[in-house]
Amino acid sequence: MEKNKGILGILLIGLGTILLCSNLFGFRFGNIAIHWPLLMIALGAVFEWLYLSDKKNPGLLVPGGILLVLGFLFEFEMLTDWRFSEYTWPIYLLAVAFGLFQLYLASDRRRGLLVPVGILSGIALVSYLAYIFKALSAVINFGILVPLILIVLGLLLIFRK
C-alpha cells in the first residue's frame, strides 16, 4: 500500500505541476503530440522513486536518470521546435553519464563506473568547448590573441620570482 501511495503522490505532483505551468506561464500541455516527453520524465521519476523507497536496487537509477535527463531535453526540444538540437546533442551522452554516476553514488562506489562517466562527460565537454570556441572566433581574432597570451606568459615566467 505504501508503494501505491508514493506512485499516486508522484502522479499528483506531476499533474499539479503541469496544470500550474499551464495557468501561470500559458503553456498548453493538452497536446500529447507536443508533450510526450512528460511521459519519459514520469517514467524516469518512477524508477528513481522505486530506488529511493527501499534503496535496495541501485540499478534502477540508471534508466531513471537517463529517462529524466532525456525527457527534460526532449521537452525543451519540443517547446523550441528543435531549433537548438544542433547544440544539445552532447546531452545524450550526459544522460547516460548521469545515470551511471547515480549508480556509482548509490552503490559500493566501484571506480570502474567512473571510466564511462568520465569518457562520456569528457566528449560532451569537448563538444561544448568547441561550440564556445567557434562562437568566440567570430568575435575575437585568436590569431593575434593566442600569441599575445603566450608572450605574456613567457614574460611572467622570466621576470616573476
Residue 1 has pLDDT above 60, yes or no: no
Each residue of 7-62: pLDDT tens digit? 677 777 777 777 776 677 666 655 666 778 988 999 999 999 999 988 889 999 99
pLDDT at 28: 62
d(CA 129, CA 100): 23
Judged against a pLDDT cut of 90, whether residue 126 lies above it is answered with yes
Whether pLDDT at 3 is above 70: no
pLDDT of residue 26: 64
Q: What is the pTM of this model?
A: 0.71
Q: For residue range 49-83, what is the model confidence (pLDDT) as tens digits? A: 999 988 889 999 999 999 999 999 999 898 888 89
- Confidence (pLDDT) at 16: 78
**Element housing 99 (H / E):** helix 90-106
Share of the chain above pLDDT 90, in %: 48
Hey, CA dihedral for 138, 141, 146, 148, is it positive or negative?
Answer: negative
Mean pLDDT, rounded, for 109-137: 92
Query: Phi then psi for 20, rounded to 5 degrees?
Result: -65, -45
Residues 6+ apart with CB under 8 A from 79: 27, 34
Mean per-residue pLDDT over the chain, rounded: 86
Whether residue 131 is predicted with pLDDT greater than 80 in this model: the reply is yes
pLDDT number for residue 138: 81
